[in-house]
Amino acid sequence: MRVEVCTTIDDVPAEQWDRLVKGNNPFLHHAFLAALEHNNCASPTFGWRPMHLAAWEGKQLVAAMPLYLKDNSYGEFVFDHAWAQAYQRQSLSYYPKLVSSIPYAPATGQRMLLADELPAAELSRALLDKAIEVAGEVDASSLHWLFIDEEESRLHHSMGLMLRNDVQFHWHNRDYADFDAFLAELNAKRRKNIRRERRLVAESGLRLQLYHGDEVDDADWELFARMYEVPFEQRYSLPTLNSGFFKETAKAMGRQVILVLAYDGDEAVAGAGCYAVMTPSTAATGAASRSMTTSTSKPVSTKVSNTVLPTALNILNPAPRASTKSGADFCPPAPTPATGSAIPSFLRRLLIFSSGNRRPLMTTRLSLRRGRPIGKDDRVFPTLWFSRNQDIV
């Protein structure tokens, strides 16, 4: 087996890469990652230098891993500035670092793409060993795998990686017969607020139209790209996606791309974009919000948000802080490992300050009605855990 470093996703044939993706996850598709690179979204301009790993048996791809050399933490949604400060206090540099993640998409999923016909432990160890080798060659401070799923977190733990737990908020369709059945799960205040917002939208005369990627023309993507940019500009931030990216993914991924536009008369005034997992019948069974809803008023945003939650949708993995925007719509699962990391021993000694196999670095209070929408009395605080394991870097 040989493991190669690819400085562009185009070095790997798309059909071989996609063969290793489980569950038809749109963010792991070759087309999605390629569009980010082709349109200067995941590029050195924004601190993303592709260094993907590809393991081959002859001409057959048997394992792969999206990997980037980062000189900042922008677009990761992990917020590891405390680690960077710890390095600085030791007169060391936290950047560059190696990160296995999907740029700008904090959606849980695979990071090590492994062929089913070979042992997972063997393939994952080959990827890890190569990643550590690359880290040494580029003088990276650390390795990180972001937003990994439960299966991969167990695999990482077995290889001696540190695990960090966090909480994400997902919307789940619990076989609701209709929208009123969903509202029945909420407290009276939430129900009243949502009904009021929906009434205001209905009275406004706005018209919604849902499109799939293969139904949207270039002019609509240009319009949506402008909508996407506006909130960033209002907050003096930097938009990283662009119309070229939206057009390319729509063309390549077809019905996995969903665009909702809200019209005031003939003028589109708001939009929302999603990338969805599709069943063979093309019904959306899972989706992750990929772009910000842009609107001129709160009722517009509410209506667009409600529209991208069709009855066929089972799970919505939202953009960060969606729980604060949509209140009771999102439910907290039990805390699960969100990242796996291989870091130098000096930082490990700073973090692990007590004996035992699993101890908290930061204590947390987590008052949640698990599996149900958040109520007014529930409070959520961040959680961070580290495990003591053998140093591997």
Is residue 240 domain-resident? Answer: yes
* CA triple 179-172-303, angle to 5 deg: 45
pTM of the model: 0.80
Is residue 392 domain-resident? Answer: no
- Same domain for 348 and 319: no
| CATH number of the domain that residue 321 is part of | 3.40.630.30
Tell which residue, 173, 169, 164, has the closest CA to residue 334: 169
Q: What's the Rg (C-alpha) of the chain? A: 22
Section 211-216 average pLDDT: 93
Domain final position from 314, 329, 344:
329
The number of beta carbons lying within 10 Å of the beta carbon of residue 308 is 21
30-60: pLDDT as tens digits: 999 999 999 999 999 999 999 999 999 999 9
Is residue 156 domain-resident? Answer: yes
Mean pLDDT rounded to a whole number for the chain: 77
Please report the pLDDT score of residue 100 as a whole number: 96
- Between CA 279 and CA 119 the distance in angstroms is 28
Domain final position from 329, 345, 367:
329
Please report the pLDDT score of residue 344 as a whole number: 54
Task: Name the residue range of residue 59's domain.
Answer: 2-168+334-387
Domain final position from 292, 311, 329:
329
**What is each CA distance from 174 to 185, 331, 348, in whole angstroms?**
10, 11, 41
Binned at pLDDT 50, 70 and 90, residue 335 comes out as very low
**8 A C-beta contact, residue 78 and residue 339:** yes
Is residue 241 domain-resident? Answer: yes
- Same domain for 344 and 263: no
Q: What are phi and psi of 97, to 5 degrees?
A: -135, 160
Binned at pLDDT 50, 70 and 90, residue 361 comes out as very low
- Same domain for 317 and 196: yes
Is residue 273 domain-resident? Answer: yes
Is residue 371 domain-resident? Answer: yes
- Same domain for 280 and 150: no
pLDDT at 238 over 70: yes
- Same domain for 289 and 195: yes
- Same domain for 207 and 112: no
- Same domain for 339 and 291: no
pLDDT at 354 over 80: no
Binned at pLDDT 50, 70 and 90, residue 325 comes out as very low
Q: Tell me the one-letter amino acid at 164.
A: R
Q: Point out the least confidently predicted range of 9-23, 128-142, 266-280.
A: 266-280
- Same domain for 24 and 79: yes
Phi-psi region of 246 (alpha: psi -120 to 50; beta: other; left: phi over 0): alpha
- Same domain for 223 and 160: no
Section 218-237 average pLDDT: 92
Please report the pLDDT score of residue 384 as a whole number: 31
- Same domain for 146 and 198: no
**8 A C-beta contact, residue 246 and residue 221:** yes
- Same domain for 325 and 227: yes
Is residue 253 domain-resident? Answer: yes
**What is each CA distance from 390 to 69, 145, 337, 341, 355, in whole angstroms?**
24, 18, 18, 12, 14
The number of beta carbons lying within 10 Å of the beta carbon of residue 345 is 11
Section 240-251 average pLDDT: 96
Section 301-316 average pLDDT: 51
pLDDT at 319 over 80: no
Domain count, the chain: 2
pLDDT at 119 over 80: yes
More confident residue, 331 or 269: 269
Is residue 393 domain-resident? Answer: no
Please report the pLDDT score of residue 37 as a whole number: 98
- Same domain for 303 and 194: yes
Please report the pLDDT score of residue 313 as a whole number: 63
Please tell me which of 74-83, 200-209, 260-269 the model is most confident about, judged by mean pLDDT: 260-269
More confident residue, 66 or 383: 66
